Amino acid sequence: MCGEDGSSWRKFPGTNRPLGSSYVGVAPLRLATSALENGVYAMKAKWISMMVGVALLIGSTWWSHAADPVPVVDGPAEQAPAPQVFQMQTANGPNARGEGQLVKLPVPEAAAFKTEEGRTGWKVTIPGGRPLTTPAVVDGVLYVGGGFGSYEFYALDAKTGKPRWTFKCGDDGPTAAVVADGCVAYNTESCTIYIQDSTNGKVLWHRWLGDPLMSQPAIGGGKVLMAYPGKGGHRLAAFALRTGKVAWDKPIAAEIISAPVMAGDFVVAATVDGTLYKFNLASGEVVWQKKHQVTSAPRVLGRQIFISQRTEKEIKLKDGDGKETSSTVTLEGLNLVSLDDGTLTHEKPLAAVKASFLLALGAQQQLYAGNAAVHFSGQGAYRMDLNAGSVLLNDVSGALGGQAKSLTERIDKFAVREPSPESTAGEKDATEALQLARDIEKLANALPDDGTNNNAGEQLKTIARDVLQTAEKTKDAAEAAAQAEQTMAATKVQQAEDQQHDASVGFSSAPEAAKLSMAAGNIGQSNVKAVWAYQGSRPCLHKGTSIMIHGPKMQAVDVKTGKVVWEHAFDFEAEATRPVTPPALAGGKLYVGTVDGRILCLDADSGKTLWQATIGGRILFEPSVAAGAVYAATADGTLICLNTSDPTADGWHMWGGSAKHNGQE
């Protein structure tokens, strides 16, 4: 976190974070000013004497206003302030305005390794052991930040892992980098965007934007785009790539999910509250904006935008006493949006799956409780119907013989078992009830229609339909409760880790500017680090299918019919709400990383696993694929280069595939 002058005023003793030169001279005055101006952060400055701070504040007002950079303003580019020009610093460490330095940073020598499956490569452990983002690999150079909370950025030789150049940022938390037109662009979580020459690291320009920055930039059409929290709310700004001149700057609802996406003359972006935007790239004009409950960065192909979309459905049923109970289930699936006017192609998302991983912990608990009540109630309801069916079957056993007797015995044995409050047992119970209902219907159809059975056949068919309907809803609710239960356990683990990361950079509580309540309500993320790392179930497009990963399941969906072409369930259990990364697509193959330390290669046409490599270390970010190698980064700070021996393994060079984040170009 930075003050508006770029000073790292949220770094305080006990966090093991560099204090920087902002703590010398008049920095305490700026700290006091920030504390007084923004009550949200006042607790972070409580070690400064209030009386001294107020007295010094009055005397230093003229200096602090002179030191503040002019904020980016909405309006024509010629009205915008000139960007700050980078000046190489001679003093050690980052300075008070976030400029940073090209310095030689310690980088361990790359070590060759061989996986248990026989695949070879190299690995480097970046100092600090922090979660690393997707590396960018362009023209034989790998670019990566030192992770959430770090001040370091690295350019390494992609073949050997040896340093090309290294950079000490002026503040912390470099995002995944984008590389295009001889420039590398990235921003820190706190609070600056950097544009550097990709060959030598020379800073072309940088700009303090706001705190926190939880998305990454995009490059296209000679511009670099970046979202930031400005005064009055979040903004999306476009800067000239090589000079930093402001082209346009527009308000948006909240932080952008992952990154803006460029396609032709337009920009599309989804914010954490679920709003989808289309901007004119040249002017910044908002062509349209729609609240579509979008849950990841979009993809654009032709005149269509592909989104992952959340929705809710209600399960209603009557219990054995006729009392209605209900619950809500959250779903996520594919939808298409018109690039022209922002209208949805489908009323509901296609191939939607249960998605408790989109909920914050409190909402998960509510989902579990509501669906647990419904599936328990349903078990009692269909038992009463089955008992009635057993009586009728006994009455017509003469016409049906041993089949009726056998089914009656099965029903009686089933009905005497007590309903189970356990989700997995409730799902199994409902599955068995569904089979009994189908068998009742089969026997009802076999009854002679000669008027001798007092309309028992129609009565049995009605009972079978009631049981089928109730049991299907019961199973649905049981599955939702079971998924919520598993997700709660994983969320608690992840949330504790994210809170530690937030606290390590001075966020004992999230700043108001982050608008995390919006993120929690739409994508279930309630920490700065969690939103910074969030990628969601982003569509990956291949031969008329959209490939998405929902939790531990990958699906390929026909974009015209909505039918599931193939499905791949990953064969492990892990304490993570999203145990598999979004896929990188190269040469007709999908490359993903997993939280149990594997890189998998799958056939994009069938979803079949072609090979896997066990590397160790949790992989949280989408891999990159370049020049026959897969590049991945782990949550404990290790960079991996894995040889594939496949010349088609190329073309997915950074997060989102390219600097425009719209797949391969």
SS3 17: coil
| Diameter of the chain measured on Cα atoms | 104
Residue given tokens 């004992």 in the structure block: 508
* 566-569, Cβ contacts within 8 angstroms, sequence gap of 24 or more: 566/606, 566/607, 567/607, 568/602, 568/607, 568/608, 568/609
SS3 365: helix
In sequence order, what are the residues at sequence separation of 6 or more whose Cβ sits closer than 8 angstroms to the Cβ of residue 370?
A: 326, 327, 328
User: Does residue 91 register a pLDDT over 60?
Assistant: no
Cα 577 to the chain's mean position, in Å?
10
The Cα 4–Cα 127 span in angstroms is 29
User: Does residue 17 register a pLDDT over 50?
Assistant: no
pLDDT tens-digit map of 93-139: 344 457 899 999 999 999 999 999 999 999 999 999 999 999 999 99
- pTM: predicted TM-score of the whole model, two decimal places: 0.86
Residue given tokens 């908002």 in the structure block: 286
CB 568 within 8 A of CB 554: yes
48 φ, ψ to 5°? -85, 135
The token duo for 300 is 């654009």
The Cα 121–Cα 160 span in angstroms is 9
Question: Residue 321 — very low, low, confident or very high, per pLDDT cuts 50/70/90?
Answer: confident
Question: Residue 70 — very low, low, confident or very high, per pLDDT cuts 50/70/90?
Answer: very low
Omega cis (within 30) before 212: yes
What is the percentage of the chain residues whose pLDDT exceeds 70? 84
The Cα 473–Cα 92 span in angstroms is 65
Residue (of 88, 85, 79, 281) closest to 195 by Cα position = 85
DSSP state of 44: G
Taking CA atoms, 264 is separated from 101, 193, 221, 298, in Å, by 35, 24, 8, 15
The Cα 164–Cα 108 span in angstroms is 13
Question: Residue 401 — very low, low, confident or very high, per pLDDT cuts 50/70/90?
Answer: confident
∠ CA 16-635-155, nearest 5°, is: 80
DSSP string, 59-96: HHHHHHHHHSPPPP-SS-GGGSPPPPPP----SSS--T
Strand partners, 550: 553
SS3 276: strand
Q: Please state which of the ranges 84-98, 231-245, 462-476 shows the lowest mean pLDDT.
A: 84-98
The Cα 421–Cα 395 span in angstroms is 33
What is the percentage of the chain residues whose pLDDT exceeds 90? 77
DSSP state of 21: G
Mean pLDDT of 362-370: 96
628: left (phi over 0), alpha (psi -120 to 50) or beta: left
Burial of 303: CB neighbours in 10 Å, binned 0-12, 13-18, 19+: exposed
The Cα 8–Cα 41 span in angstroms is 13
Burial of 563: CB neighbours in 10 Å, binned 0-12, 13-18, 19+: exposed
Q: Please state which of the ranges 33-47, 323-337, 406-420 shows the lowest mean pLDDT.
A: 33-47
The Cα 397–Cα 408 span in angstroms is 9
Question: Residue 90 — very low, low, confident or very high, per pLDDT cuts 50/70/90?
Answer: very low
Omega cis (within 30) before 191: yes
Write out 305-349 in H/E/C secondary structure: EEEEEEEEEEEEEECCCCCEEEEEEEEEEEEEEECCCCCECCCCC
Question: Residue 274 — very low, low, confident or very high, per pLDDT cuts 50/70/90?
Answer: very high
CB 483 within 8 A of CB 354: yes
The Cα 665–Cα 657 span in angstroms is 8
The Cα 185–Cα 195 span in angstroms is 5
The token duo for 657 is 């595939």
Single-letter code of the amino acid located at 49: S
In sequence order, what are the residues at sequence separation of 6 or more whose Cβ sits closer than 8 angstroms to the Cβ of residue 615?
A: 113, 115, 123, 597, 598, 599, 632, 634, 640, 642
Position with higher pLDDT, 465 vs 28 = 465
pLDDT tens-digit map of 451-471: 667 788 899 999 999 999 999
